[in-house]
Amino acid sequence: MIDKTVATVTAAVADVSDGMTLMFGGFGLCGIPENAIQELVRLNPKNLCCISNNAGVDDFGLGLLLQQKQVKKMISSYVGENAEFERQMLSGELEVELTPQGTLAEKCRAAQAGIPAFFTPAGYGTEVAEGKETRIFNGKPHVMETAFQADFAFVKAWKGDVAGNLIFKGTARNFNPLMCGAAKITVVEVEELLPAGALDPNQIHIPGILVDRIFQGVNFEKRIEQRTVQN
Amino acid sequence: MIDKTVATVTAAVADVSDGMTLMFGGFGLCGIPENAIQELVRLNPKNLCCISNNAGVDDFGLGLLLQQKQVKKMISSYVGENAEFERQMLSGELEVELTPQGTLAEKCRAAQAGIPAFFTPAGYGTEVAEGKETRIFNGKPHVMETAFQADFAFVKAWKGDVAGNLIFKGTARNFNPLMCGAAKITVVEVEELLPAGALDPNQIHIPGILVDRIFQGVNFEKRIEQRTVQN
Amino acid sequence: MALDKNGIAQRIAQEIQDGFYVNLGIGIPTLVANYIPENIAVEFQSENGILGMGPFPVAGQEDADLINAGKQTITSLPGASFFDSAMSFGMIRGKHVDLTILGAMEVSEKGDIANWKIPGKMVKGMGGAMDLVASAENIIVAMMHTNRQGDSKLLPKCSLPLTGVACVKKIVTELAVLEIQPEGFLLCERAPGVSVAQIKAATAGKLIIPEEVPEMRV
Amino acid sequence: MALDKNGIAQRIAQEIQDGFYVNLGIGIPTLVANYIPENIAVEFQSENGILGMGPFPVAGQEDADLINAGKQTITSLPGASFFDSAMSFGMIRGKHVDLTILGAMEVSEKGDIANWKIPGKMVKGMGGAMDLVASAENIIVAMMHTNRQGDSKLLPKCSLPLTGVACVKKIVTELAVLEIQPEGFLLCERAPGVSVAQIKAATAGKLIIPEEVPEMRV
């Protein structure tokens, strides 16, 4: 068994530097790597390109990196749940590349799986397809999209073992599994870090081979963005 | 909850007809849809194109369809563990399209996921790439491969619920999950059919939306091809 | 009388058949879930990774790890499953989802849809809408017939940046049910008490008016 | 004296580093697992869907649902995982597997490999070999230096249909360890008691012979 544990988030994130491309799991604030984000705020690398479905809110998630103006470019499908993001975007400080959500997911999965490019119908005939190759398959036009290339992937899982095997919970799964192994280095924080053999090998969502560093996360806030209940 | 159960294998397979393209899960004899294969022998459709990583042995698995000369074409990565296969292939009765195993898997997954084509490095510079488009990505040549198009997918799972949610066991998983939803109709046999809600939604390998028909399999032989033990 | 948002949702619910997997967008489409007949089996997919989505939780039972694509807390029903975003959009692109219901800013008589961007305004992004409209075989748009300025949203050609091309099949507004046909918007039903003339006046694109235009039953 | 198959496996085992994920082909490569030093952590991947493969089971403990790519019954070790074939080849194509060890019929001085087809004979197929050789950054070929007819398997150009192009990095035979260099086969080590002349005689492709060719330590 190959041990992937690192003792602290500081050790896990220490080699992130200016100008890197970083992937972040999560949908809205659900399943985001809270510990890594906090540490990136402390470490304060600048000119980052962040690949994340969303951009957090003003005072949580990737909004924290935006507040410190660490982000040069966001690649997302849906943004602007926060005022600072909007300000930076409209002022031109922040570059935003909007990508259809399914294409975003598939570009992560392609990077993980060594598929350099694929065709999808999403975005054909829209500005998303501008400058991209298009082709008809089975009578229907498709757009060619390419795999992401990133330096780090920051992932949050529910349970993990020291071998890096991961299990996600509920809809906190989202983009997290797809970013494992999709960047040069994959850093995972878990709610519960277990010894090897503690997880049923049939139930593992992501095998440890796709994980480079795993650590026990602390103080997860798991903030709810839209608390909605029955009448 | 949408109920996907059918009472018998006969009902599940009845509309397979001559000349259809059929997918079969399994690796060697591990995880093959034994019940569906038996029923296809009984039903006896001819001129089938079969997509399966392997072609069974003389008296088990897809070898049973070969014996009855039901198969016109095999699309596989590794064949010829049986004498009848070899005889039909060498005599020209049986057409064989050999595909790299990873490409075979990805062509199934592409069909499932609505990706009509993708690029892979596998087979570049070999006869597998003949007549196919090639392209360089990141300095490395790749071959364009397209999604499979099939009429039926026959899948074997370990546990399933009436909503069609599936869990596979050990290495009997292999191609089975990838073929779910990759054909027009997906037929699944399970060792244990459970009520909806009996499976943990976090542990489901394949959601029921990718399954059209599910039934309780019977008399699984689960033959071992190469019984190997420690000295 | 023109329908309200709940009326639109109620009419759309009639399009849902037994055994359908349905993806509901934000806004009016979300309300459709309230009008599914008891005697049919329907499962709701939310593209952030759940099939078998249930109602909102009772107070105190909210789970931060269980939300819908609108980021609202939800519940799951027996037979539900969770999955990653690649699997989720695999379901969508692979045409496994039977029906997509979503809102729009504009629809053209060719079935083009614009619902994600207004030039000059803050753009929040398309989320999963481009994947949904490009892939679904069955797309119903739920929207008001005209915008706040009173201009028709059913146009010869969309003026806003497109979300998808030639993809919308049906439109339900407060005034009418319309289908996209090669020749234009086919007027299928009128809202109760709404006249064909009213609908014609509110439709900028080519409207095909059959001899008989029945009233909706809602 | 030339090595036997176990000797080749033993020499290859020295190439495996702590923390490596390794895919072993059928034949000599399978034997490599027997020679991994105790003090390093290595995990074996089998492309049919397991990481953390263990030894063969004890008699009576065979599980039909747990086999390797050679269809042999196996066991799993603590920390193992099972996955589908798309994930498995994702690991391979995505360069997550650190080392691939496989057999060959022929290797060219450019690193081309042929190991799946002999024209005119029954062709069983390439299995996962084309994916493995096209993707692995680190490929070691384990084979005999010559075939049964005594002809060299290290050639200027492969005569058999290729499995992959310019992909082999290292070759270990019963006679030598060789690396593929832009100029040809670099002779790195000789088997104990084997002379450079013997190796030269058995190598049809261009052989680069350094001044000093150390003996293998096995």
| Predicted local distance difference test score (pLDDT) of residue C90 | 98
pLDDT at res. C1: 81
Could you tell me where the beta strands, DSSP code E, fall in D2-138? Answer: 20-24, 42-46, 50-53, 76-82, 99-102, 106-108, 113-114
Nearest residue to A180 via CA among D83, D137, D69: D83
**Averaged pLDDT, D1-10:** 95
Chain D residues with CB under 8 Å of A113 CB are 86-87, 89-90, 93-94
Average pLDDT over residues D138-154: 96
Confidence of residue D87 (pLDDT cuts 50, 70, 90): very high
Q: Is D129 on the interface with B (CB under 8 A)?
A: yes
Give how far Cα A207 sits from Cα of A9, A199, D36, D51, Å: 21, 11, 22, 8
A114 and D95 within 8 Å at the Cβ level: the answer is yes
Token code pair at residue D92: 């391979």
For chain C, give percent helix, strand, coil, nearest 5: 20, 30, 55
**Whole-number Cα distances in Å, A65 to A73, A151, C203, D75:** 11, 17, 46, 46
Please give the order of strands across the beta sheet that includes C154-155.
Answer: C113-114, C106-108, C154-155
Domain at D144, CATH number: 3.40.1080.10
Instruction: Tell if the CB–CB gap between D84 and B225 is shorter than 8 Å.
Output: no
Q: What is residue D164's predicted lDDT score, i.e. its pLDDT?
A: 98
Closest CA to C134 of C77, C106, C94, C86: C94
CA–CA dist B97, B100 (Å, integer):
10
Contacts of C45 in chain B (CB under 8 A): 209
- Cβ–Cβ contact D48 with B under 8 A: yes
- Per the structure, the complete domain to which residue D163 belongs is given by 5-33+96-207
Question: What is the average per-residue pLDDT within D175-192?
Answer: 98
Residues of C in Cβ contact (< 8 Å) with A109:
86
Q: How far apart are CA B50 and CA B21, in angstroms?
A: 6
Give domain status of residue D46, yes or no.
Answer: no
pLDDT in tens, D103-112: 999 999 999 9
- Contact (CB<8Å) B116/A142: yes
Among residues A230, A167, A224, which one has the least CA distance to residue A193? A167
State how far the Cα of D131 lies from the Cα of B106, in Å rounded to an integer.
11
Residue C147 placed within a domain: yes
Find chains touching chain B: ≥3 CB pairs under 8 Å.
A, C, D
Nearest by CB to residue B171, choosing from D82, D127, D162, is D82
Asked whether residue C169 is domain-assigned, the answer is yes
**pLDDT tens, A92-149?**
999 999 999 999 999 999 999 999 999 999 999 999 999 999 999 999 999 999 999 9
Measured between alpha carbons, how far is A225 from C74 in angstroms, rounded to an integer? 12
**What is the interface size between A and B, counted as CB pairs within 8 Å?**
52
pLDDT at D64: 98
* Residue D81 domain flag: no
CA pair distance A210, A188, nearest whole angstrom: 10
Question: Hey, which residues does D140 pair with through a beta bridge?
Answer: D101, D170
* Contact criterion met (CB below 8 Å) for B50 and B74: yes
In a domain, C152, yes or no: yes
- The number of C-beta contacts closer than 8 angstroms across A and C is 180
Judge: C94–B204 Cβ closer than 8 Å, yes or no.
no
Q: From the centroid of its chain, how far is CA C199?
A: 20
Catalytic-labelled residue, pool C47, C106, C109, C174: C47
Indicate if the pLDDT at residue A80 is higher than 80. Answer: no
Six-digit token string for C120: 């000059």
Q: Is the predicted ipTM greater than 0.95, yes or no? A: yes
Contact B106, D89 (CB under 8 A): yes
Mean pLDDT, residues A147-168 taken together: 98
How far A80 CA lies from chain D's nearest CA (Å)? 33
Residue C126 CB burial class (10 angstroms; 0-12, 13-18, ≥19): buried
Question: What's at B34, amino acid-wise?
Answer: E
CA of B167: which chain C residue's CA is closest?
C81
The answer to whether B103 and D131 are in contact (CB under 8 A) is yes
Per the structure, the count of domains in chain C is 1
CA–CA distance, A54 with C189 (Å, rounded to integer) = 39
Written in H, E and C, the secondary structure of chain B is CCCCECCCHHHHHCCCCCCCEEEECCECCECCCHHHHHHHHHHCCCCEEEECCCCCECCECCHHHHHCCCEEEEEECCCCCCHHHHHHHHCCCCEEEECCHHHHHHHHHHHHHCCCEEEECCCCCCHHHCCCCEEEECCEEEEEEECCCEEEEEEEEEEEECCCCEECCHHHCCCHHHHCCCEEEEEEEEEEEECCCCCCCCCCCECHHHCCEEEECCCCCCCCCECCCCC
Nearest to A102 by CA among C127, C7, B116: C127
Q: Is D85 on the interface with B (CB under 8 A)?
A: yes
Q: Say whether D52 and A201 touch across the interface (CB within 8 A).
A: yes
Residue C214 lies in a domain: no
Interface contact B126-D74, CB threshold 8 A: no
Is any Cβ of chain A less than 8 angstroms from the Cβ of B167? yes
Please say whether the beta carbons of A172 and A156 come within 8 A.
yes
pLDDT exceeds cutoff 80 at D79: yes
Nearest chain C residue to B182, by CA? C94
Collect the ranges in chain B with pLDDT lower than 50: none
Q: Are D55 and D74 in contact (CB under 8 A)?
A: yes
Q: Which of D23, D39, D96, D135 to probe by mutation at the A interface, max A CB count within 10 Å? A: D96
Q: Cβ contacts (< 8 Å) between B77 and chain D: which residues? A: 125-128
Tokens representing A33 are 């790597």
Model-wide pTM > 0.90:
yes
Decide if A78 and C126 are in contact by the 8 Å CB cutoff: yes
Distance from CA of C50 to the nearest CA of B (A): 9
Burial D169-195 (b: 16+ CB within 10 A, else e): bbbbbbbbbbbbeeebbbbbbbbeebe
Contact A2 D21 (CB under 8 A): yes
Neighbours of C (≥3 Cβ pairs closer than 8 A)?
A, B
Per the prediction, chain D carries an average pLDDT of 96
Residues of chain C with pLDDT under 70: none
C199: helix, coil or strand?
helix
**Element spanning C45, H or E:** strand C42-46
pLDDT of residue D3: 96
The CA-atom distances, in angstroms, between B215 and each of B11, B52, B168 are 9, 21, 15
DSSP letter assigned to residue C162: P
Q: Does domain A9-115+149-216 have CATH number 3.40.1080.10?
A: yes
